[in-house]
Structure 1
């Protein structure tokens, strides 16, 4: 009997992400991924306990990719917190456009086991909390949640083609972002 084929972590994650983007999150199963990488299903249990474990691999890869993208350009000298948050928002929107289904795992995974681990999510959350702390007084968590919820919601609606009233969607994104950044910077009463 021939030796079982070995699959690199990169090839495994690429297959999971491809299935998720092409066929949907529900199509990511142990058997579909095994078939995509050319191994028998039982061999995947060395890498993940179940399909949610496979989804976590994709979510953590997406988190790393987004962190890299958000930090690829250094902040400009004199660029304030609003400028940094604007860049983060644009990076997230661009990522969501490229990987709409996998990006959803970052914010709306089907279970905690399918979401990025706290260790994988922290490099995404920490810079956001730091920049919001510089922009607003008090606990940055409510503002960070509002910021990410608005961007994720906007991107989800954009991907679904839900903006059907005409007008420029890019302009609407900038308007919403301006309003949100103004609200974050405004002292709380």
Structure 2
């Protein structure tokens, strides 16, 4: 009998994300992922006990991806405004690449799917540090405002919510500028 095929963690996560983006979060099942990586479903139990853990792997990967981008932005400038604008742009870029998986970062259908707190912590640290430089009295509320606006804009954009015409990129920039001015006020 041949030895079972081994699947690397990056291959597994890529398959999960591919299925989620192509067919939706509900299509991520143990059997669908196993078929995508060329193994039998029981082989996946070494990496994930259930479907929620598969989705958490995708959420963790997206959080890590976003965290890396935001850390690079924060390391490249001392300007908190640039860090916050860069954060919003990084989130928008992630949502454009992976709208379904991005949803897991903010609206996971089950708490067991939420990204690992240790992967979200660096994102929050960079965000709160930049916001604190602009709005030291209430940085958490300001960070939540920016995040909610940016995520909401991204989801409307991905779902075709901007049907009135006009330049959506310009609208994003105008909205971002308005939110950042509000945070500074």
TM-score normalised over the length of structure 1: 0.93
Equivalent in the alignment of 1:64: 64
Equivalent in the alignment of 2:89: 90
After TM superposition, give the deviation of residue 70 of structure 1 in Å.
Answer: 2.3
Equivalent in the alignment of 2:2: 2
The reply on whether 1:180 has 2:185 as its aligned counterpart is: no
Equivalent in the alignment of 1:153: 152
User: Unpaired runs of 5+ in structure 2?
Assistant: none
After TM superposition, give the deviation of residue 120 of structure 1 in Å.
Answer: 1.5
Task: Measure the CA separation in 2 of the matches of 1:140 and 1:156.
Answer: 24
What is the aligned-residue RMSD (CA, Å)? 1.2
Task: Measure the CA separation in 1 of the matches of 2:62 and 2:81.
Answer: 24
After the TM superposition, which segments of 4 or more aligned residues of structure 1 sit over 6 Å from their partners? none
Contact 2:70 2:126 in 1 (8 A): no
Task: Measure the CA separation in 2 of the matches of 1:95 and 1:104.
Answer: 10
1:18-33 correspondence runs (5 A): 18-33=18-33
After TM superposition, give the deviation of residue 72 of structure 1 in Å.
Answer: 3.3
Equivalent in the alignment of 1:75: 76
After TM superposition, give the deviation of residue 14 of structure 1 in Å.
Answer: 0.5
The reply on whether 1:132 has 2:138 as its aligned counterpart is: no
Equivalent in the alignment of 1:55: 55
Task: Measure the CA separation in 2 of the matches of 1:45 and 1:144.
Answer: 38
> 1:54-113, CA deviations, whole angstroms, 9 ceiling, x for partnerless residues?
01101111111112222335433xx52112111111111111111111111111111111
TM-score normalised over the length of structure 2: 0.95
SS at match of 1:116: coil
After TM superposition, give the deviation of residue 16 of structure 1 in Å.
Answer: 0.3
After TM superposition, give the deviation of residue 48 of structure 1 in Å.
Answer: 1.1
Contact 2:59 2:113 in 1 (8 A): yes
Task: Measure the CA separation in 2 of the matches of 1:33 and 1:112.
Answer: 21
Say which structure is richer in helix: 2
Task: Measure the CA separation in 2 of the matches of 1:46 and 1:164.
Answer: 46
